[in-house]
């Protein structure tokens, strides 16, 4: 609920007769903001109104929800338990509202941002499925490389491959993938097959430009830990779609995402190199959005769709061959 609408509701209901749902919204806001004053600003209330409301809740429940100092507030043990329950209650109400008023999304536009290679290879087809389920919803999909400012320019959801660092955004993993060092049979026939990552020093590699994080190649060291590999490349691009064409043409060895190269590996157009030294860590594929609370019906519908649209294990692992009796690698907890 927007602060202005919330304030009107409070003025109409008055603090003394505020609904339990509104009370929980105020309580959760105060717990997340860490002060009654900050919660009051965000909800367009007065600090005294927030303080009185929390006090009345505590009197009704018979427990202290916050430990108060002259500067800050902290949840008590009972407050922590109530906070978890209040969050679930608020989300349940908002889910029910979304189910009733889902028709409101018909005149809305869902704006999706994706890393280019995942957007081109996988997401475009999935978005087509989503559009078929919601024929009256407008959809705008943009492809961008830069991982910073994911939700700028009015984006509702961003699809990102890899972990986010120091982000206040909500990140929901819905699949995973890994990077694979590979080359075409033609290149290997002409230049020989490297048997160890260190052999790449004597080979031509095609790579991302240095400003892109994926330009750092990771391999497994003798102790099984991931380590960066020093790569010198004279052929660079900022687009994975260009690098895979270079690799297919035999121009050099590439490190590309499994989502992109699975069919090439299955059909022999590309060959995985030194698999025992490849880094098997799975990178999460995540949907990034602003907040779990007050989620619009269009965003909620797309997030719910992503949760069910990707099987586990993902289809792009079809090319992998596991020893008899040994299952394919599955996702670790993200």
Distance CA(28)–CA(118), nearest Å, equals: 36
CA angle 289, 295, 301 (to 5 degrees): 85
What was the pLDDT predicted at 41?
Answer: 83
Chain position carrying tokens 């430990």: 67
pLDDT at 202 over 60: yes
Distance CA(278)–CA(329), nearest Å, equals: 13
Per-chain mean pLDDT for the chain: 85
Residues in a beta bridge with 177 = 283
Residues in a beta bridge with 161 = 285
pLDDT band at residue 266, thresholds of 50, 70 and 90?
A: very high
Output the pTM of the full model.
Answer: 0.63
Distance CA(23)–CA(25), nearest Å, equals: 5
- Please give the domain boundaries of the chain with CATH numbers for all domains: 3-100 (1.10.10.10), 103-177+283-317 (3.40.190.10), 179-277 (3.40.190.10)
pLDDT, tens digit, for every residue of 154-198? Answer: 899 999 998 887 677 889 999 999 999 999 999 999 999 999 999
Is pLDDT larger for residue 86 or for residue 107?
A: 86
Tokens of 201: 């020093």
What was the pLDDT predicted at 2?
Answer: 43
HSE, side-chain direction, 13 A CA sphere, residue 284: 13
Is residue 334 within 8 A of residue 173, CB to CB? The reply is yes
pLDDT band at residue 5, thresholds of 50, 70 and 90?
A: very low
CA angle 125, 127, 129 (to 5 degrees): 75
SS (H, E, C) the chain: CCHHHHHHHHHHHCHHHCCHHHHHHHHHHHHHHCCHHHHHHHHCCCHHHHHHHHHHHHHHHCCCCEEECCCCEEECHHHHHHHHHHHHHHHHHHHHHHHHCHHHHHHCEEEEEECHHHHHHHHHHHHHHHHHHCCCCEEEEEECCCCCCCCCCCCCEEEEECCCCCCCCEEEEEEEECEEEEECHHHHHHHCCCCCHHHHHHCCEEEECCCCHHHCEEEECCCCCEEEECCCCCEEECCHHHHHHHHHCCCCEEEEEHHHHHHHHHHCCCEECCHHHECCCCEEEEEEECCCCCCCHHHHHHHHHHHHHCCCCCHHHCCCCCCCCCCCCCCCCC
Tokens of 79: 């407050």
Mean pLDDT for the stretch of residues 268-286: 93
């Amino acid at each position: 609920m927007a602060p202005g609408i919330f304030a009107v509701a409070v003025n109409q209901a008055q603090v003394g007769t505020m609904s339990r749902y509104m009370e929980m919204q105020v309580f959760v806001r105060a717990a997340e903001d860490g002060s009654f004053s900050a919660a009051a600003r965000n909800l367009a209330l007065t600090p005294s109104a927030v303080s009185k409301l929390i006090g009345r809740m505590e009197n009704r429940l018979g427990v202290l929800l916050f430990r108060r100092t002259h500067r800050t507030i902290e949840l008590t043990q009972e407050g922590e338990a109530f906070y978890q329950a209040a969050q679930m209650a608020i989300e349940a109400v908002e889910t029910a509202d979304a189910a009733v008023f889902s028709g409101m999304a018909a005149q809305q536009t869902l704006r999706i941002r994706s890393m280019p290679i995942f957007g081109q290879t996988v997401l475009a087809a999935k978005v087509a499925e989503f559009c078929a389920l919601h024929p009256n919803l407008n959809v705008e999909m943009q492809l961008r490389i830069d991982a910073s400012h994911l939700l700028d320019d009015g984006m509702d959801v961003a699809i990102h491959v890899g972990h986010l660092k120091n982000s206040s955004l909500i990140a929901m993993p819905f699949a995973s993938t890994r990077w694979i060092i590979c080359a075409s049979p033609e290149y290997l026939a002409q230049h020989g097959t490297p048997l160890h990552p260190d052999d790449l020093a004597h080979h031509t590699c095609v790579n991302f430009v240095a400003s892109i994080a994926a330009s750092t190649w990771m391999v497994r060291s003798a102790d099984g830990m991931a380590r960066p590999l020093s790569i010198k490349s004279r052929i660079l691009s900022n687009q994975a779609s260009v690098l895979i064409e270079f690799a297919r043409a035999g121009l050099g060895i590439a490190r590309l995402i499994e989502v992109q190269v699975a069919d090439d590996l299955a059909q022999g157009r590309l060959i995985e190199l030194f698999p025992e030294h490849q880094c098997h860590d799975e990178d999460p594929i995540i949907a990034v959005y602003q907040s779990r609370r007050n989620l619009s019906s269009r965003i909620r519908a797309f997030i719910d769709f992503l949760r069910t649209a990707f099987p586990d294990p993902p289809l792009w692992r079809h090319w992998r061959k596991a020893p008899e009796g040994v299952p394919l690698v599955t996702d670790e907890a993200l």
